Amino acid sequence: AQSVTQLGSHVSVSEGALVLLRCNYSSSVPPYLFWYVQYPNQGLQLLLKYTTGATLVKGINGFEAEFKKSETSFHLTKPSAHMSDAAEYFCAVSDVRNTPLVFGKGTRLSVIA
């Protein structure tokens, strides 16, 4: 069965600092990997995804993530945090079998002025 582990339920960074949100996955077949963001009282919005091809993927709002098969990781980064980045971030995994997305428990990002 697939699973996702997000290290750190809460991450706090200063405005302008590097954002790093960690995600490790488990999958018996090549994975499809996703990051979603959830703002308060809203649904989830797709930030970026990896399916095949280039392992460094760029998404919206300046975020990017790198698929590292050897480390079974898909960490999310942003060089410079902005106050508007404060939200809940979810990592999710599926695969070529199109199984429903399996989500991690989420990481709440706080940005301090």
Partner 1 sequence: GAGVSQSPSNKVTEKGKDVELRCDPISGHTALYWYRQSLGQGLEFLIYFQGNSAPDKSGLPSDRFSAERTGGSVSTLTIQRTQQEDSAVYLCASSLGRGRFRYGYTFGSGTRLTVV
User: Which residue's CB is nearer to partner 1, number 5 or number 17?
Assistant: 5
Residue 34: other Cβ atoms inside 10 A: 25
Strand pairing partners for 113?
A: none
Cβ-proximal residues to 67 (8 Å cutoff; 6+ apart), any chain:
33, 50, 55, 56, 57, 73, 74
User: Which residue's CB is nearer to partner 1, number 90 or number 111?
Assistant: 90
Smallest distance from partner 1 to CB 60, Å: 12
* Residues 34-73 within binding reach of partner 1 (CB under 8 A): 34, 36, 41-46, 49, 51
| Contact flag: residue 7 with partner 1 (CB under 8 A) | no
